[in-house]
Amino acid sequence: MLQGMDYCKHISDAMGTRVDKPFKATLFEGRHLFLGVNVLAPGQSQALHTHPLQDKFCFVHAGRGHFEVGASTLETRPGDVVFMPANVPHGVANRGTEQLVFLMGISQTPHHH
């Protein structure tokens, strides 16, 4: 159960970087929803993949992203929200010159808890 300050976090407190792969940090993990922050340095990407039972969204906080969702290619900027339905292939790349930072929310699978 979340307590007090655990109900509110600032995205900048969870941001980081990795040279070898995109940085990921957990913000919240509830019974039905997982929320994290992802940071992709210029040139980094997350390969196309699917989540058979989980809907997912990404809210672009900073930078510009190149998202692929199904047959669509989306060029995003801060403030954009990308929805990825369950079982639809999706991936993201940072083709820009600045960090790409986004919040990622995904429904938990029924057997998670």
- Whichever domain contains 45, its CATH number is 2.60.120.10
**Is 7 inside a domain boundary?**
no
pTM recorded for the entire structure:
0.89
**Is 10 inside a domain boundary?**
no
**Is 2 inside a domain boundary?**
no
Predicted confidence at residue 84, as pLDDT, reads 98
**Is 4 inside a domain boundary?**
no
**Is 41 inside a domain boundary?**
yes
**Is 9 inside a domain boundary?**
no
Number of domains in the chain: 1
Instruction: Give the tens place of pLDDT for each residue, 17-59.
Output: 999 999 999 999 999 999 999 999 999 999 999 999 999 999 9
**Is 93 inside a domain boundary?**
yes
Predicted confidence at residue 6, as pLDDT, reads 80
Catalogue the long-range contacts made by 28-34 (C-beta closer than 8 Å, 24 or more residues apart).
28/2, 29/108, 30/2, 30/108, 31/108, 31/112, 31/113, 32/107, 32/108, 33/105, 33/106, 33/107, 33/108, 34/105, 34/106, 34/107, 34/108
Q: Which domain holds residue 52?
A: 18-107
Contact 94, 100 (CB under 8 A): yes
CB atoms within 10 A of CB 113: 9
Q: Is the pLDDT assigned to residue 112 strictly greater than 60?
A: no
Q: Is the pLDDT assigned to residue 106 strictly greater than 70?
A: yes
